[in-house]
Amino acid sequence: MHDDDTSSAEPIHAAFTRLMRWAHRGDVRRLLLGSAAEALSMNDITLLRAIGTHGPVRGSDLAAWQGVDKSTITPQVRRLEDRGLIAREGDPGDRRAALLTVTEHGRRKLRKIDDSGALLFERAVDGWSDDDRRLLGELMTRLAAELALVPKESVLHARQRA
């Protein structure tokens, strides 16, 4: 990375830092997630969304996706299961394993959470052109995908140096 690359990334980092501070405010969390998420942590919502997106999924796969040990995921999954948001079913390919799926109650909860977030952002970009909205969505999606690769690349580079 060159000095020019670093300086060109500084405004992006500054804006991202401001967004993170904003998103962690209690009042914003309530607006962003709505009343449907009151009893859920951000991690609960992230796991519920991952199971909904990638499910049915094994707990071990969910743990790998989160970058944590399966023993860390187990109590988190149990909380979601106890609330009726996810269900376990047998894995037809391996009788020892269970697959996690989002229940209808969990899908409704995610829809309410998404609706709250969409409304908040709709208000924030009210007055923006359709082209600006589309471009922001595309760039944020691209940034999120690139950021997801950074820790994996860092680990790979560290292993290659060792």
What pLDDT shows up at residue 125? 96
pLDDT tens digits, 1-49: 445 555 788 999 999 999 999 988 888 888 888 887 788 888 899 899 9
Domains and CATH numbers, the chain: 39-104 (1.10.10.10)
pLDDT tens digits, 114-142: 999 999 999 999 999 999 999 999 999 99
- Does the predicted model carry a pTM greater than 0.85? no
Written in H, E and C, the secondary structure of the chain is CCHHHHHHHHHHHHHHHHHHHHHCCHHHHHHHHCHHHCCCCHHHHHHHHHHHHHCCEEHHHHHHHHCCCHHHHHHHHHHHHHCCCEEEEEECCEEEEEEEEECHHHHHHHHHHHHHHHHHHHHHCCCCCHHHHHHHHHHHHHHHHHHHHHHHHHHHHHHHHC
pLDDT tens digits, 37-82: 788 888 899 899 999 998 899 988 888 888 888 888 899 999 999 9
What pLDDT shows up at residue 131? 98
